[in-house]
Structure 1
């Protein structure tokens, strides 16, 4: 009975296919503990290596998308006509703002055109022109212009917001024309979600229903807009300030605003994180498996850890045929 119990307690710890030898030892033997240690050293260090090299989990990722941008035909214009704060002309598409301007209100002539150059169903740029009529004694020294847009993304999460482009330029010499050429770029301080609908910023940049002058102050508008985690900015506008205006000519603002393809920062979903972690882990694990497989072959073949080698049994029929 003790011998049978001892035989049943023997476990096959390792087998080497090249020599067809199996190595047995007790469950609580030194060989079993050594094999357990090698197993831990095989599977745990790859995880630590991956974790220490830029992290195991993918926390942020990017994708490329052409946003759907549409000019909202809403704008606010302030043109300084002197160094005195009271010397200005203003106009907007918001009636409440216009009522506050009184004698400083001046209605411009506006033309705009959006173009889909690659015919993919999404607009690629805006051609904008504003002509501000001036009296012969008036001159423009600085311009501040806000244009609003609808900005939409669909590839991962559905993200919709109301955004703006802020155009400004000034000169000590009165101007005749301002020309701006730039890209309406997405600016993120926070990653977008990988799925779902995000409309937290789908509100007007300017509170057009407010009767208070403070809600139309450029400083307050810019401050509230920049408090968002996701905005658009007019990147690389390259403003050109032209001088030499005729006495009866208007001050002209021309702008070419492109809608470029964007690299969007987002938070990966669960399965994407698992896929990223698994690929990294397995690529390191294969190296450790190969190394420790060689170590186990050496340890068991040379009986560094004491085991019972079990040789393959030759079938009787094969033995008789060999004898004949």
Structure 2
């Protein structure tokens, strides 16, 4: 995995600022992107809560560019993307900076993770936002979360948020929606992807097709596991221990999260059978449902 510097100029109008919040789930940290060439700039995502090192890097870039933030676009509600918004607004933005995010469908609040005193404007699918030197189009891509978006440009750049990562594969809340979003991005045919975690994706179509193929392979492996263990009371972690043997154990909980959503999809499709015993739900293959 190539090391990502704290600050990288990617193009004449795009600067990547690393969120300085490394972890097993965020990789080297959350990539945020500063867009534009003029006095006012767009920032995509704001990193995690209370990371002064990130704020210092962002503030330093803006001072060097003799610019300030007029627009913040949040790809989705997860803390490592919205957590820094309060400090960013306090240190790096002008008074009229607008914060945008697509609405969630799993809560009545637009984004309860953001302090109530910060006004968040709702984004719409296919909405366009522009400043000097940059224009982006919003594409709603649910699955990772209900509010997840990616951003595209006229010259083929795609900011993928957590839908597609620079290394590894993404987690998701709803697999059916996530697969639909991957196909939607494939139809866009981006020429390069700037992800929220990991390095730049230089061969985006290959990466997207790999993601789709990988999920289908995982589904086949999970179904095969249930068929090999007929009439046993099985749960997601049982699948992980068998199917994810090559995955570091510290990531098994994330793998189990994905497996649960694969299982839910298979149950809806009638390929697995679910039964609750003493408030615990177990699953077996539909062809071996004598549980």
Larger Rg: 1
TM-score range, shorter chain: under 0.3
Using CA pairs under 8 Å that are at least 6 residues apart, name the structure with larger relative contact order, 1 or 2.
1
TM-score (norm 1): 0.18
